[in-house]
Amino acid sequence: MDTITQVLQDSNLYRYKGFCFFKELMQPEYIDSLQDFEIREDDVFLITYPKSGTIWTQQLLSLIYSEGYRNGTEQMDTSERIPWIEFQSLSKIDHNRRPSPRLFTSHLASHFVPRGLKNGKGKIIYVMRNPKDVIKSLYHFEAMAAYAETSPDFGHFFQKFLDGEVFAGSWFDHVREWYTHKNYFNILLIKYEDMIMDLRSVVKQMCTFLEKELDDESLDTVVKRATFNEMKKDPFANKENMPEDFFDFKIGKFMRKGTIGDWKNSMTVAQSEAFDKIFQEKMGDLDLSFTWDIKLESHM
C-alpha cells in the first residue's frame, strides 16, 4: 500500500495517493477496494471537488429521476437517494443490492474511482466551480463541520487551500486530473456558474446526457424546485438530518449564499492577485475558463 502521511496544517486529515481524507470517516483499504466495485451500464456518478455544487446537482438528479419528489410528495434525504461511495461509515447501504439505475455521489479524484467507469461504462457528471468561491464556501463549511479543523482566520485557510491541505487535497490537482482524463470516461462536465446563469439549459443538457426525456412542464418544475431559495427552506438540503453534533448550525447554514463572486468579501487584493498567478501557472495550459463574478461576467 502507498504511504499514508500526516497533513501538516490539519490534524483531522491524512494524505494518501495525493488526496486528503478525514481520518475518522474514511479508511484507505476501503478506498482502494472501490477499484473493484462493479459498475452497471446505467450507473450515474456525480463527482465534484467539495463546495462546487454537489447538493445542488444531487437535488437536480433526484428531481430528474423521481417524479414523486418533483411534486414534493416524498420526503427523502438526497444522500440516501444518491449516496456517497467513499463515506462507508456514514451509510450502511449495500450498493450491490440497490435497484438500477443507481445514482452515486463522490468527491474522489479520478484515480480512485471504480475501474469499470474508466472503460466508459456508466455515466459521470463532474461539476466544477470557480476556485475562489470554493475557498470562501469551504472556509465557512470548515467552521461549522465538527469533523474538520477550523482555521483561525481566512488568511490561514487560504494558505491551507493553496497547499492542498484540505479535505480532497488540491483543487488544482482534482480539476486538472478529471479534465485531462475526461476522454477515458463517459462524462458530462458542468460548471456551477452556468447553473447559476441558466439552470434550465444545464438541466436540459443533463437530461440529454442521461437519456431522460422531460416535457417542458416537468423541466420547469425541476428548475423551480432546485432554486437556491427553494432549497434553502429544505432541511435535507441544509443537512439538518445529519447525526447530532456533525454540524454546528449556530455558526452557519449549509445553504449559505449560493452565488458567484462572494470571495470578494473575504479575499484581499493581494491574495486575489497571488491566487490568479498560481491559477495561471497551474491551469493556464488547459482550455478551461471560469466565471469569477456575476456582474462583470469576466472570464479567465
Closest CB to ligand PPS among residues 41, 220 = 220
From edge to edge, which strands make up the β-sheet containing 103-106? Answer: 103-106, 44-48, 123-128, 187-191
Closest CB to ligand PPS among residues 123, 140 = 140
In the complex, least distance from residue 87 CB atom to ligand PPS, rounded to whole angstroms = 11
C-alpha cell at 43: 450507473
Q: Which of 107, 140, 156, 299 is catalytic?
A: 107
Element containing residue 292 per DSSP (H, E): none
In the complex, least distance from residue 275 CB atom to ligand PPS, rounded to whole angstroms = 16
**What is the DSSP code (8-state) at residue 25?**
T
Closest CB to ligand PPS among residues 53, 169 = 53
In the complex, least distance from residue 171 CB atom to ligand PPS, rounded to whole angstroms = 12
Contact 42, 100 (CB under 8 A): yes
**What is the DSSP code (8-state) at residue 166?**
S
In the complex, least distance from residue 73 CB atom to ligand PPS, rounded to whole angstroms = 20
224: amino acid identity, one letter: K
Contact 185, 118 (CB under 8 A): yes
Contact 110, 102 (CB under 8 A): no
Interface with ligand PPS (CB under 6 A): 48, 50-56, 133, 137, 140-141, 226-228, 231, 255-258, 262
Q: Which residue has the cell 493553496?
A: 162
Closest CB to ligand PPS among residues 99, 243 = 243
C-alpha cell at 103: 445514482
Is residue 107 among the annotated active site residues?
yes
Position of minimal CB gap to ligand PPS: 258
List, by residue number, the catalytic residues.
Answer: 107
